[in-house]
Amino acid sequence: MARDLLTSFFRSGDAMRSRSVSDLVLSATLDVPMPPARLLADWDREISSRMVLEPGDVEALPLARARVRWPDYRQCVQAVADWTRGLGLQELIAGADVALMACRGARYHHDGAQYGAAAFCNLFLSEDRDLDVHFPSTGHRIPLARGTALIFDTGQPHAVVRRRSSGFDAADFAAGPDCTQLFLTWELPIEDPQLARALGIAFDVDPSTSSQLDEEQVRCNGEPAVLCPASGRWRRAG
């Protein structure tokens, strides 16, 4: 079966541009220390008392407060900086926005409608909880554990699912053992020449369409499309 052709339309300054969506997922397992017990307890309290983290949700946690109780935060950032530098992405992490996130699994989705001008770099902080990040269009399925690091195109569909599952099922995350994953995420500028080269991004692949749009989006085989949150399959919009 032919692979779907995805195109990201993103805002660049005052203009809309088009680009290819990378099939590459860069990954590694980095040596990062476990967050201290009192910080893990803080995160558990935050998630249970102040957030409504339903199965499939991905939500932000307060990073500034966490850093006060996280003596190894710099070590985690340095590990990611060293890895990305080894990929030829010189100092890209240093200037990127970073956030602390929590997810209880994640439905199949893409982030190209909000972050089409970026790639994500994620560092997972939780222990192995029998979960994978799955990219259904490319076939990548990467086990999540402390130190798992990923760089991927925001336009590429992905989900966090049970290791032996064939899709996202909210029932897999409804009860039982803790299945929350915590991770740091950086927004890397997709127009950076080093990053575009590492991911194989081609720009201005559909300028006639981008000139007619005013909202960021991902199109499948040239048509507006939506993603099934359970299977990760594309279907025609409307």
How many Cβ atoms sit within 10 Å of the Cβ of residue 229?
A: 16
**Domain-wise residue ranges, the chain:** 24-199
Residue 48: DSSP 8-state: I
C-alpha distances out from residue 105 to 79, 192, 213, Å: 25, 30, 32
Give SS3 for 146. Answer: coil
The pTM of the full predicted model, rounded to 2 decimals, is 0.95
Whether 78 and 30 have beta carbons less than 8 Å apart is answered as: no
pLDDT band at 177 (very low <50, low <70, confident <90, very high): low
Which has the closest alpha carbon to 6: 238, 230, 227, 178?
227
Confidence of residue 48 (pLDDT cuts 50, 70, 90): confident
Report residue 4's pLDDT band, with 50, 70 and 90 as the boundaries: confident
As a whole number, mean pLDDT of residues 111-128 equals: 97
The overall average pLDDT reported for the chain is 95
Give me the pLDDT at residue 220, please.
96
Q: Would you state the CATH architecture of domain 24-199? A: Sandwich (2.60)
pLDDT tens readout for residues 77-109: 999 999 999 999 988 999 999 999 999 999 999
